[in-house]
Amino acid sequence: MDFDLTEEQSILKDSLDRLLTDKYGFEDRKRHMAAPEGWSAQMWASYAEMGLMALPFAEADGGLGGTPVETMIVLESLGRALALEPYFPTVVLGGSFLRFGGNDDQRAEYIPAVADGSLKLALAQVERNSRYDLHHVETTAAKDGEGYVLNGQKSVVMHGDSADKLFVTARTAGGSRDEAGIGVFLVDAGTDGVSVRGYPTQDGARAAEVTFDNVKVGANDVFGDPENGLPLVRRVVDAGIAALAAESVGVMSAMHALTVDYLKVRKQFGVSIGQFQVLQHAAVDMFVAIEQARSITLYATMMADSEDENERGRAMHAAKAEIGRGGRLCGENAIQLHGGVGMTMEYAVGHYFKRMTMIDTTFGDGDHHLHLLSAGGGLFAAA
Amino acid sequence: MDLRYTPEELAFRDEVRAFLKENLPEDVRQRLDNGEYGNKEDLVNWSRILNQKGWAVPHWPEKYGGTGWDPMRQYIFLEETQKWPAPQPLAFGVNMVGPVIYTFGNEAQKARYLPRIANLDDWWCQGFSEPGAGSDLASLKTRAVRDGDHYIVNGQKTWTTLAQYADWIFCLVRTDTQVKKQEGISFLLIDMKTPGIEVRPIVTIDGGREVNEVFLTDVRVPVENLVGEENKGWDYAKFLLGNERTNIARVGMSKQRIARIRELAGKEMSRGRPLIEDPRFLEKLTAVEIELKALELTQLRVVAADAKRGNTGRPDPASSILKIKGSEIQQATTHLLMQVMGPHALPYHDHDIEGSNMPPIEPDYAATAAPSYFNYRKVSIYGGSNEIQKNIIAKAVLGL
Ligand SMILES: Cc1cc2nc3c(=O)[nH]c(=O)nc-3n(C[C@H](O)[C@H](O)[C@H](O)COP(=O)(O)OP(=O)(O)OC[C@H]3O[C@@H](n4cnc5c(N)ncnc54)[C@H](O)[C@@H]3O)c2cc1C
Ligand SMILES: Cc1cc2nc3c(=O)[nH]c(=O)nc-3n(C[C@H](O)[C@H](O)[C@H](O)COP(=O)(O)OP(=O)(O)OC[C@H]3O[C@@H](n4cnc5c(N)ncnc54)[C@H](O)[C@@H]3O)c2cc1C
């Protein structure tokens, strides 16, 4: 077993951390949030320049041939900065559709554009009644000549208002909760019949409600098997969960660092409050939760590219449940230990807490994944 | 021993319910039920309706407008209005400064302030905390120096809830710097219109505008606005904080939120069925209900003991239990309510940005779920943090 980063991976981590330390302080972030798109086009360009967008793609497709470890490094750093740019929906989710579901033509057409930062993507999957079930799809895709016609409505499409193109899950056959009969379609956001209503999210990022009203897509906009696209969706979402776990580690460590600093400088009763043992122990509980989150993230990262859907799924359920639990513990303690200051918009720690909370509502909260993992026989019995 | 309400108490409960049904506008009830921030106008209107009925300040002595209800009836009234839900009285006047004035104030102060508190003619805010004096409240630095018939006040208060609406602020100020810190504090009533007072908003993490910084620069306060004796303010503050603690259990409010969780979990779908049918979710909710039932009985035990003993003005240190458990339950229920919304908790509904002509993002009742969860982190921080409450129990009850 080897837990060390390679030299190249260390360089990636250091240079991204340096960029974010320089350019993505809390005040910078406020400015980026206030931009019309809700994030920084300049930072986006810097990420592209560093090669972050090309990272996960095969060299043969014009990428840098990175593994899930590189994605983990990037997301942890972005999490520590609470970065707002649409890296996750474009490169992690969209990129995974291209990598795992794209045919030669599709990869050739889209990967170079993602890799150079010119194409932004999003995933339109959640629906009003789907809650966290990937197979609950009411949006329809009716066969229309060589292509399809899409009708339906998607909710909380992360960065849906920035995306040039949307990956959409839609039903080609069966009832709304059937596992079969789900297809994946790439739809240009400017197509007739697509309407996008963007809004800010609780954690300061952006999302959109997207409506599809008789939207025509061609045969070459279909990704994977249109009759059986669920395994592809699962694979992409699993890659997403591993990345969110990594982001969580960044978010949790940043709020822990802020909290420990605060315990040292805040004085009450003539001493720094870090002298109170009950607060020391709370900070230690946070530390333990972060290390557990980091370990489970490594496990998820190792499994992220696995072809074995069951084995991969179990790792993701475990990771999402663990970061859900530990993330909440960290966030709530971080606020509590700051006292009133933690409750203010002006101070960073609350923003980490909100991001952590919203990560839990993305692709299934901790309870949801605990349920799926236990229903599937748990973690060890299956081994 | 009998843990049931008497027939008279049940009749009283029905009377309260009938009054609420008759007198509280439905739109006000709905806004509160939906978890929206209370607004000033609704509270002022409701306080006046209550005052007309003679129910604005039930726990006050009758000669100052109280109802003469025994503690059990007061409790029933509190719980019923919270469960309904009706706007809760402005605590800073009704539960905090009012009792301080009728207990420690002079006749002129009682006559001047108490009727206006009961009718919410004066909006009061609480000027205790300072940037350097939170849990260690006694270390406060705001100075009041005697100058003829006035005190000249200089300093800064912070976290002052709803100071943006306030006509008056009651402040703890330092009047003697030479003695032990608790012994040099006085309790002053200050008109917010006095020159030298500046209120600056602090936005909370949920986007709410409920707290403020209050800066006081050479503020001239008539000496007649001193409550009780100079340098005895700490005693009055402890009396006041003890009252605050009992009110912070909020059993009725948690019952209302649980009803709301059940209602909305019946609308939100999970695995193709209403979420409320999910046994795991139900078990989590039920576990909170058990805690709440026990807390209700704990609170009733405190109420009954109070009734037997007569109000000594000295809170039982065990009332810290109410604060700890009450805040934990409020936080658990706001978290559950957010969980009900699933992915739909994510959108931030900012009416300022969107303009009122946009239809709400569906479901509209999800709008307050995450903000309430964020906002309710405050309940284990204010009114004496939960760590401080545990210190009190360890010391005063356990003798550690
Ligand atoms: C099953 C068992 C096997 C053991 N085996 C061995 C052995 O093989 N060799 C050996 O040398 N010892 C052994 N011990 C003894 C063990 O190391 C002591 O029990 C331990 O150090 C605690 O000391 P104590 O029992 O005197 O409790 P105390 O030290 O009196 O502690 C009582 C309580 O106070 C808490 N406490 C104490 N100090 C602090 C502090 N500064 N801050 C916060 N909390 C504090 C403790 O956590 C504990 O909850 C064993 C004990 C047990 C129960
Ligand atoms: C939303 C909100 C509304 C408020 N409204 C008002 C108001 O209207 N008027 C007013 O005067 N004040 C108000 N407050 C202030 C509130 O009373 C203080 O926030 C509270 O007393 C804690 O003080 P602090 O924020 O300075 O935290 P600190 O005292 O700095 O505490 C930071 C952390 O240290 C812990 N801690 C401190 N001392 C100890 C100890 N001895 N042992 C163990 N742990 C300790 C605390 O529990 C907390 O976790 C409000 C606060 C909030 C958040």
Q: For the segment B329-344, what is each residue's pLDDT rounded down to a tens digit? A: 999 999 999 999 999 9
Count CB atoms within 10 A of the CB of residue A234. 17
Q: pLDDT (tens digit, 0 to 9) for every residue of chain A, 383 residues total?
A: 788 999 999 999 999 999 999 999 999 999 999 999 999 999 999 999 999 999 999 999 999 999 999 999 999 999 999 999 999 999 999 999 999 999 999 999 999 999 999 999 999 999 999 999 999 999 999 999 999 999 999 999 999 999 999 999 999 999 999 999 999 999 999 999 999 999 999 999 999 999 999 999 999 999 999 999 999 999 999 999 999 999 999 999 999 999 999 999 999 999 999 999 999 999 999 999 999 999 999 999 999 999 999 999 999 999 999 999 999 999 999 999 999 999 999 999 999 999 999 999 999 999 999 999 999 999 987 55
Report the chain A residue with the minimal C-alpha distance to residue B345. Answer: A361
Angle subtended at Cα A345 by Cα A341 and Cα A346, rounded to the nearest 5 degrees: 75
Tokens read off for B129: 């905390």
Q: For the segment B60-85, what is each residue's pLDDT rounded down to a tens digit? A: 999 999 999 988 899 999 999 999 99
Ligand 2 midpoint to CA B324 (Å): 14
Q: Which of A276, A339, A354 sits opposite B134 (nearest CB)?
A: A339
| Interface check A30 vs B, CB under 8 A | no
Domain definitions of chain B by residue range:
7-89, 124-231, 248-346+361-397
- Please tell me the distance from the alpha carbon of residue B168 to that of residue B165, in angstroms, as a whole number: 9
Q: Is A122 helix (H, G, I), strand (E, B) or coil?
A: strand
CB-based burial label for B296 (10 Å; 0-12, 13-18, 19+) = middle
Residue B354 has pLDDT above 90, yes or no: no
**Sign of the CA dihedral running A64, A67, A73, A76:** positive
| For ligand 2, atom 51: residue with the closest CA | B382
User: How many angstroms separate the CA of residue B199 from the nearest CA in chain A?
Assistant: 16
Cβ distance A182 to A230 under 8 Å?
yes
B342, A202: Cβ pair inside 8 Å?
A: no
Count CB atoms within 10 A of the CB of residue B277. 13
| pLDDT attached to residue B245 | 57
Tokens read off for A190: 């400017």
Ligand 1 midpoint to CA B400 (Å): 19
- Please tell me the distance from the alpha carbon of residue B400 to that of residue B305, in angstroms, as a whole number: 24
A362, B139: Cβ pair inside 8 Å?
A: no
Exposure of B125 in the CB half-sphere (CA atoms within 13 A): 22
A358, B346: Cβ pair inside 8 Å?
A: yes
Please list every residue in chain B whose beta carbon sits closer than 8 Å to the beta carbon of residue A361. 338, 341-343, 345-346
**For the domain bounded by A7-119, which CATH number is listed?**
1.10.540.10
| Interface check A132 vs B, CB under 8 A | yes
| Interface check A37 vs B, CB under 8 A | no
Phi then psi dihedrals of residue A270, to 5 deg: 80, 5
Domain B7-89 has CATH 1.10.540.10: yes
- Please tell me the distance from the alpha carbon of residue A308 to that of residue A331, in angstroms, as a whole number: 33
Residue B244: active-site member = yes
Give the type of residue at A198: G
Report the chain A residue with the minimal C-alpha distance to residue B368. Answer: A202
Hey, what CATH topology would domain A231-375 get?
Answer: Butyryl-CoA Dehydrogenase, subunit A; domain 3 (1.20.140)
For the Cβ of A263 lying below 6 angstroms from any atom of ligand 2, the answer is no
Residues 6+ apart with CB under 8 A from A31: A40
A361, B346: Cβ pair inside 8 Å?
A: yes
User: How many angstroms separate the CA of residue A201 from the nearest CA in chain B?
Assistant: 4
**Sign of the CA dihedral running A70, A74, A80, A84:** negative
**For the domain bounded by A122-227, which CATH number is listed?**
2.40.110.10
The mean pLDDT value for B118-138 works out to 98
Tokens read off for A217: 């897509």
Q: Which DSSP string corresponds to A163-205? A: -SEEEEEEESSS-TT-SSSEEEEEEETTSTTEEEEEEEBTTS-
Residues 6+ apart with CB under 8 A from A101: A184, A223, A224, A229, A232, A236
Hey, what CATH topology would domain B124-231 get?
Answer: Butyryl-CoA Dehydrogenase, subunit A; domain 2 (2.40.110)
| pLDDT attached to residue B336 | 98
Exposure of A296 in the CB half-sphere (CA atoms within 13 A): 27
| pLDDT attached to residue A76 | 98
| pLDDT attached to residue A115 | 98
CATH class of B248-346+361-397: mainly alpha
**Sign of the CA dihedral running A348, A354, A360, A361:** negative
Q: Which of B270, B348, B362 sits opposite A200 (nearest CB)?
A: B348
Q: For the segment B257-267, what is each residue's pLDDT rounded down to a tens digit? A: 999 999 999 99
Q: Point out the ligand nearest to the CA of residue A280.
A: 2
Cβ distance A46 to A52 under 8 Å?
no
Question: Where is average pLDDT lowest: A64-68, B20-24, B297-301, B390-394?
Answer: B297-301
Q: How many CB pairs under 8 A join A and B?
A: 137
| For ligand 2, atom 49: residue with the closest CA | A337
- Confidence tier at B313 by pLDDT (50, 70, 90): low
CA torsion A95-A98-A101-A104 (nearest 10°) is -160
Residue B352 has pLDDT above 90, yes or no: no
Domain definitions of chain A by residue range:
7-119, 122-227, 231-375
- Please tell me the distance from the alpha carbon of residue B180 to that of residue A345, in angstroms, as a whole number: 36
- Confidence tier at B294 by pLDDT (50, 70, 90): very high
The single residue of B244, B277, B289, B291 carrying the catalytic annotation is: B244
Please list every residue in chain A whose beta carbon sits closer than 8 Å to the beta carbon of residue B373. 357
Tokens read off for B205: 């993490």
- Please tell me the distance from the alpha carbon of residue A132 to that of residue B270, in angstroms, as a whole number: 8
Residue of B140, B158, B365, B377 to mutate, testing the A interface (most A Cβ within 10 Å of its Cβ): B377
| For ligand 2, atom 1: residue with the closest CA | B378
| A 8-27 → B contacts, CB under 8 A | none
> Closest Cα partner for B170 from B185, B150, B189?
B189
| pLDDT attached to residue B351 | 58
> Closest Cα partner for B133 from B125, B142, B124, B121?
B142
Ligand 2 midpoint to CA B378 (Å): 9
CB-based burial label for B377 (10 Å; 0-12, 13-18, 19+) = buried
- Please tell me the distance from the alpha carbon of residue B41 to that of residue A72, in angstroms, as a whole number: 51
Tokens read off for B34: 């939906």
Residue of B158, B328, B346 to mutate, testing the A interface (most A Cβ within 10 Å of its Cβ): B346
For the Cβ of B160 lying below 6 angstroms from any atom of ligand 2, the answer is yes
Give the type of residue at A167: F
B346, A156: Cβ pair inside 8 Å?
A: yes
Taking phi over 0 as left and psi of -120 to 50 as alpha, with beta for the rest, A45 belongs to alpha
- Confidence tier at B132 by pLDDT (50, 70, 90): very high
B272, A344: Cβ pair inside 8 Å?
A: no
Tokens read off for B377: 């982190």
Q: Do domains A7-119 and A231-375 have the same CATH topology?
A: no
- Please tell me the distance from the alpha carbon of residue B197 to that of residue A344, in angstroms, as a whole number: 22
